[in-house]
Structure 1
Amino acid sequence: MKGSLVAMSLAAGLLFSTVFGPAGAHAAKNPKDTRRATVQVSEFEHLPDGTTIRLYTLTNAKGSVAKIITYGATLTELWIPDAAGRKRDIVLGFDTLEGYLGNQPYFGAIVGRYGNRIAKGRFTLDGKQYSLATNNGPNALHGGIKGFDKVVWQGQAVEGAHGAGVKLTYHSADGEEGYPGNLDLSVTYTLTDDDELKLDYTATTDKATVLNVTNHSYFNLAGAGEGTILDEILYLNADKYTPTDPTLIPTGEIAPVAGTPFDFLKPTAIGARLGADALKAVGGYDINYVLNGQSGTLRLAARVKDPKSGREMEVWTTQPGVQLYIAIGLNGSIIGKHGAAYPKYGAFCLETQHYPDSPNRPNFPSTVLRPGQVYSEETIYKFFAK
């Protein structure tokens, strides 16, 4: 559709579809169907101030579905087939906007400006010290009190030859949450016909700043709300990790995983070593891995398999690190989609990223973005079943 027609449809509050090919909005339910992917745009709900939150439903030629809302650029649903072809939603989240507005652990959201932690909410850049809100004990976490997960993004359907997408943009003003520089950021979600969910990030700034953006989806390959992920098998392409202090700030050391419970170079059940002394203080995994290979090049970061459903997921990224988090903070009190209570260890996160507290660690890869530079990162979640 032309932009003017789209605008009129949205203004009228009507459901509309941008259809890539002649198939229509409900195409490709049969894996053998050759019809093409679609993007459907609708109203999700409204913020208390009346702001409309849009829902983008991406459907590929196989009938797999990803749903993204403009609040927090949040992935709310991801329907992927198992080995028998049965589709299940495999990400945690809520049925309504109210859940996302509440005190919840970043389900599916884009987080930033700085994903993960900055020690004591302080960093120095070009000789000037910046102070941030401390919202995780003594530290700043995931961009602060009102990070990218709590703002409204602008969305635009994206046509692709082999998939369906949405480009979400946000302008972060100079000084927002304490960070310097006017930042213009875009995140493009693309669901390909090969059951890949691609996330492409770009950003520019008019003043030197620090930037570390990631997606905080919680995955359960058996299905969202289907028990724990402790039996799912994990491989991580990482020989090293960044040990932390008791507040989960890296000590600055880059240590080998060999001989520790952090070693997933050999595929291992996520819960196999939960009793290890090194994990007791935290209660499981919430740790950054130093990925093998060259940062800036797309390479395999992780592979996870659910033995029951046969679903497998690979994570590919250009980022230097990935945070493994296994939903330690859940305890059954959060009621998610379809009335499911989300238990401890009810999901895993693989947050592709730069290392935590990099602005205060000169030996870590730099997260500084300067005027004239373009921040560009890509992460791909690939799904298959056997």
Structure 2
Amino acid sequence: MIEKTALQDGWELYTVTNTNGMRLKVLNFGGIITSLEVPDKHGNLENVVLGYRNFKDYQANPNYFGALIGRVAGRIQNSRFELEGKTYQLEANEGKHHLHGGPNGFHQVLWKVEPFEENQASGLRLSYTSEDGAGGYPGNLQVVVTYTLTNDNKLVMLYEAATDKETPVTLTNHSYFNLSGNLKKTIAKQQAMVNSDKFTELDEELIASGRWLDTAASPFDLRSFKPLEDVFSAPHEQLRIAGEGIDHYFLFSDEKGPKAGLYDPESGRLMTIESDQPGLVLYTGNGLDETLELKERMSEKYLGICFETQAFPAALHHDGFPSLILRPDETYRRETVLTFTVK
């Protein structure tokens, strides 16, 4: 079932509900997931993502709560890159660097939304055309993002794009997850997993150095579920740089099975993540402060965790990273599936 509610300034809120009562709420502004209600082990439906109490706060949204991110998710060093011998200067919005598509990225635009209902699923198809030169990027980029909520409690996020000039592209969703339900607790006692042997080294400005580090024998070894409080309390220079937490890109290993996951022993909620992206940025909410009025409570550090499945902007400046370049004869197509169960 899908409902639409009109808000101010052409904004619309879409509510998608499956046969189990699981409920997804999405704004046409920024393609933002504002709420995701998921059952716990007792069948209680509660919200498991961070979202503002007042919709107007999404206008600025400096933490990118729930937003679609593009053209390029992550930080582009010095807001510039070279392609086919030409240097492209992008809009800076984090010091001298370009973050998450810049100040006018996909999180700041009105998407065209087409609801759809199928036999065992329903969802929203969001489309937008980013014009040649927008934000400094080359090429007219046509983007379609499809959110599908299935009756077996999967949220499928499909990203598709086509361009008429070579351009860098890697799209993601920036939802912050907290499986306690309605933000009752921080994520400290929740357990995270990322199937990865390598992560990126960052400098003091959170820009990738170009070096891969081994996750083994470090707090970044999340190949089996680990309580996040064990990560936060570990002494490690890379954790310090990121604000006593993780804000790093992990390269997925080739092993079969889920690429990542989050588990809350108290509620019993388990989220597993499958993706055909090469890796993800794991961000543990280190930069959240106590000034944001969220739907259920005020924000605080470590209140949510992001699993930003994507390629990585360091590929624009360093060898040894999966390419982000989309060419006119290619179609960008990436899918990430979140499965919600209890145990």
Normalised by the length of structure 1, the TM-score is 0.86
Match for residue 106 of structure 1 among 64, 75, 94:
64
2:248 alignment partner AA:
I
**What residue in structure 2 maps to residue 360 of structure 1?**
317
1:78-122, CA deviations, whole angstroms, 9 ceiling, x for partnerless residues?
Answer: 000000000101110123321101343100000111100111101
**What residue in structure 2 maps to residue 171 of structure 1?**
129
Q: Cα distance, 1:252 vs. partner?
A: 1.2
**What residue in structure 2 maps to residue 277 of structure 1?**
236
CA distance in 1, matches of 2:305, 2:18: 25
Count of aligned pairs between the two proteins: 340
Secondary structure of the structure 1 residue equivalent to 2:229: coil
1:285 alignment partner AA:
I
Match for residue 349 of structure 1 among 306, 313, 330:
306
CA distance in 2, matches of 1:291, 1:64: 29
2:16 alignment partner AA:
L
Aligned-pair Cα RMSD in Å = 1.3
**What residue in structure 1 maps to residue 117 of structure 2?**
159
Secondary structure of the structure 2 residue equivalent to 1:42: strand
Gaps of 5+ in 1: 1-37
CA distance in 1, matches of 2:263, 2:63: 24
Answer yes or no: is the 8 Å Cα contact 1:81–1:88 preserved in 2. yes
CA distance in 1, matches of 2:257, 2:275: 6
Q: Cα distance, 1:123 vs. partner?
A: 0.3
Answer yes or no: is the 8 Å Cα contact 1:93–1:108 preserved in 2. yes
Secondary structure of the structure 1 residue equivalent to 2:208: coil
Secondary structure of the structure 1 residue equivalent to 2:274: strand
Answer yes or no: is the 8 Å Cα contact 2:69–2:100 preserved in 1. yes
> Which stretch shifts more, 244-253 or 201-210?
244-253
2:110 alignment partner AA:
V
Q: Cα distance, 1:186 vs. partner?
A: 0.5
> Structure 1 segments of 4 or more deviating over 3 A?
none
Secondary structure of the structure 2 residue equivalent to 1:271: helix
CA distance in 2, matches of 1:264, 1:385: 20
CA distance in 2, matches of 1:224, 1:323: 24
> Which stretch shifts more, 129-138 or 171-180?
129-138
Match for residue 254 of structure 2 among 293, 312, 318:
293
Is residue 184 of structure 1 aligned with residue 142 of structure 2?
yes
Secondary structure of the structure 1 residue equivalent to 2:56: helix
Match for residue 46 of structure 1 among 8, 23, 30:
8
Q: Cα distance, 1:134 vs. partner?
A: 1.7
Is residue 235 of structure 1 aligned with residue 193 of structure 2?
yes
Secondary structure of the structure 2 residue equivalent to 1:149: helix
Which one has a larger percent strand, Structure 1 or Structure 2?
Answer: 2
Is residue 87 of structure 1 aligned with residue 45 of structure 2?
yes
Gaps of 5+ in 2: none
Q: Which has the larger radius of gyration?
A: 1
